[in-house]
Amino acid sequence: MEITLDAPLDMHLHLRDGDMLKLTAPLSADFAGAVVMPNLVPPVAEPAQMTAYAERIAAAMDGREFRAYMTLFFTPMSEAALRAAQQTPGFFALKLYPAGITTNSEGGVADLAQAEPTLRAMEELGIPLLVHGESHGFVLDRESEFLAVYRRLAQRFPKLRICMEHITTAAALRLLDEFENLCATVTLQHLLITLDDVAGGALQPHLFCKPIAKRPEDRDALLQAALGGHPRLFFGSDSAPHPRCKKEACGCAAGVFTAPVALPRLAQLFAENGAADRLQGFVSGHARQWYGLRVPSRRVVLQDVPMPVPAAYRGFGQQVVPMFAGRVLPWSVKA
Amino acid sequence: MEITLDAPLDMHLHLRDGDMLKLTAPLSADFAGAVVMPNLVPPVAEPAQMTAYAERIAAAMDGREFRAYMTLFFTPMSEAALRAAQQTPGFFALKLYPAGITTNSEGGVADLAQAEPTLRAMEELGIPLLVHGESHGFVLDRESEFLAVYRRLAQRFPKLRICMEHITTAAALRLLDEFENLCATVTLQHLLITLDDVAGGALQPHLFCKPIAKRPEDRDALLQAALGGHPRLFFGSDSAPHPRCKKEACGCAAGVFTAPVALPRLAQLFAENGAADRLQGFVSGHARQWYGLRVPSRRVVLQDVPMPVPAAYRGFGQQVVPMFAGRVLPWSVKA
């Protein structure tokens, strides 16, 4: 069996920088492009930094065709500054982090009221707003507590395209259905796992991420929405490589590295649920439609031929452990 | 400031065996005694094994005064076998594990109906039943799902003393209040932490245990019940040493090692909440009263003099990381 995709996109990707970028960027090359997160140290907050980062990504891709949809770390910006960003090649959106909520987000937004003039200008200019939507509350409530903020944003800025990034709850899906100006990304792992997989047996650091995986009914709702072809729900891997030593040490860093396994595992998931024909929309079509993206056509064929997943990806002095490390996935990308 | 205790007891303790027993047993010696869990490999299920284990514990205590209240791993037993157990020196109770629910519980009870004749005989003989009360469900629901089993046991065996071990939820406390024949133990960590401390920031394997720490409102309810002097709520550390290599590896084992820090940290907790006079009941009096235990008097003085907690306790080729490793606790046991 085969599933043929046109120009699959990863709508939420961490590529890091330096040697980690060199190792991981090519591992996303089965995608035609990806929305690249700006939470480097320091964050990518200026067009010049963004351009330089895009060049480093292109260099790491080493000739592979790949469209990096670049984001700027949200800071208050004037309309002029936003216009300048918009005219910078590769620019796609602003990514808003509540301050201190995840990896390298210390410089994020502490008071959303101060962000309003920028949001108003973004709305006028048609610049999408991508949001890491978690409060600083109890770990299981952070996303649901943040939904009131999404609601207020969606109401106050009805023409602003707002993306609820990496949603993990059924409650977020219900909000998605309420507002036409909201979209959402969902990761591979949140379609598959619950907190049980992270901490129900032995503790599994390689499945630990933010937002943390939630309850079975949340996972089931996300999966049904993805398989059902929700037009405003997009695949975003949130693939987040950390050096092995930071994942397996005490105080493990948050993030699951899925870039190289995402398309095969998604193919398996959609095929075994009789939704193979909906994969194109989930990994490309819906996002292209909603954001009005023009992506060069690119044929990617997934086949039910096994893919052995290495215990780790190594190179440039880095070592990253992927999801399904050491296992065999029943689907693979056809060379 | 000082708090003077008489014969503090740890009503739920894992001492393991071999070199780990030799290392950890003396670290519980500030307690006058402890209820010792039977989940060794193989489990301590026969009086002869129990006697031999009690002798190894006494040897590890190396002359220190310490009463080991020994438990047998619950298996169906005839009344004659129960009588024989009851006449074995050191015997205290049977510990029931649902099959496969925690460390070394693979041989536990799969069908509670089969346990009923044994429970009936225990009720008649006055042998307490200690229970690891978790279902095989979603990690956060396991205790609350098991409450129906506790309820049924409490109703069917009204004279059986049933201990809900290491409770972690407000719901378990509510059930405790419903049935006079239920008691419960609670650990140090479940009075202090929530899932946030385990997985809200970086993942903290040394705070990972089963049952897993729950929500803030659960922790708060447990703390209020302990500080409030609930007469059927007893301190049981569930202190569970694992070799450092099994805690910090991928797939970390469940258990928090609190034996050497429990009394100082409890003294701090009760003192700072103005409940210093209730500590005696929580760590000794309530359990002695409810079970009718006669423990030799032993004066243990806690003082607000700092205790530096080592990064690890080492010996006999073993290395165990305690809770609060590398930190300084404001209270200590007076030598």
pLDDT tens digit sequence for B46-99: 999 999 999 999 999 999 999 999 999 999 999 999 999 999 999 999 999 988
Per-residue confidence band for A259, with pLDDT thresholds at 50, 70 and 90:
very high
Q: Is the pLDDT of residue A113 over 90?
A: no
Contact between B215 and A138 using a beta-carbon 8 Å cutoff: yes
Per-residue model confidence as pLDDT tens digits over B209-261: 999 999 999 999 999 999 999 999 999 999 999 988 887 766 788 999 999 99
Write down the pLDDT at residue B111.
79
Write down the pLDDT at residue A329.
98
Q: What is the ipTM of this complex?
A: 0.90
Least reliable range by pLDDT among A71-75, A245-249, B6-10, B146-150: A245-249
Q: Is the pLDDT of residue A112 over 90?
A: no
Contact between A250 and B205 using a beta-carbon 8 Å cutoff: yes
As given in the structure block, the two tokens for residue A37 are 């997160």
Contact between A215 and B140 using a beta-carbon 8 Å cutoff: yes
Q: Is the pLDDT of residue A265 over 70?
A: yes
Q: Is the pLDDT of residue A89 over 80?
A: yes
Q: What is the mean pLDDT of chain A?
A: 95
Contact between B196 and A138 using a beta-carbon 8 Å cutoff: yes
Q: Is the pLDDT of residue B110 over 80?
A: no
Alpha carbon of A126 to those of A82, A88, A94, A184, B31: distances in Å?
Answer: 10, 15, 11, 17, 68
Q: Is the pLDDT of residue A321 over 90?
A: yes
B325 touches chain A (CB under 8 A): no
Nearest chain A residue to B217, by CA = A138
Contact between A254 and B203 using a beta-carbon 8 Å cutoff: yes
Write down the pLDDT at residue B238.
97
Burial A194-214 (b: 16+ CB within 10 A, else e): bbbbbbbeebbbbbbbbbbbb
Q: Mean pLDDT over residues A10-30, rounded?
A: 97
Per-residue model confidence as pLDDT tens digits over A31-66: 999 999 999 999 999 999 999 999 999 999 999 999
What percentage of chain A has pLDDT greater than the value 90? 90
B112 or A146: which leads in pLDDT: A146
Contact between B216 and A140 using a beta-carbon 8 Å cutoff: no
CA distance B82 to A109: 65
A204 touches chain B (CB under 8 A): yes
Q: Is the pLDDT of residue A25 over 70?
A: yes
Q: Mean pLDDT over residues B280-297, rounded?
A: 97
Q: Mean pLDDT over residues A207-223, rounded?
A: 97
Q: What is the pTM of this model?
A: 0.93
B203 touches chain A (CB under 8 A): yes
A111 or A274: which leads in pLDDT: A274
Nearest chain A residue to B211, by CA = A200
Question: What are residue B121's phi and psi, to 5 degrees?
Answer: -65, -40
Contact between B250 and A198 using a beta-carbon 8 Å cutoff: no
Per-residue model confidence as pLDDT tens digits over A144-173: 999 999 999 999 999 999 999 999 999 999
Contacts of B216 in chain A (CB under 8 A): 138
Write down the pLDDT at residue B250.
67
CA distance A75 to B134: 47
**By the 8 A CB rule, do B142 and B172 touch?**
no
Which residue type sits at B208? F
What percentage of chain B has pLDDT greater than the value 90? 90
Q: What is the mean pLDDT of chain B?
A: 95
Nearest to A232 by CA among A287, A166, A159: A287
Q: Mean pLDDT over residues A64-80, rounded?
A: 97
Nearest to B33 by CA among B286, B320, B301, B283: B283
B139 touches chain A (CB under 8 A): yes
Of B195, B212, B249, the CB nearest to A248: B249
CA distance B118 to B80: 10
A219 touches chain B (CB under 8 A): no
Nearest chain B residue to A195, by CA = B139
Write down the pLDDT at residue A288.
98
Task: Give the gap in angstroms from C-alpha B201 to the nearest C-alpha of chain A.
Answer: 8
Size of interface A-B (CB pairs under 8 A): 69
Least reliable range by pLDDT among A18-32, A146-160, A276-290, B107-121: B107-121
Task: Give the gap in angstroms from C-alpha B193 to the nearest C-alpha of chain A.
Answer: 11
Q: For helices B116-125 and B79-86, what crossing angle results, to 10°?
A: 40
Dihedral over Cα of A111, A116, A117, A121: its sign = positive
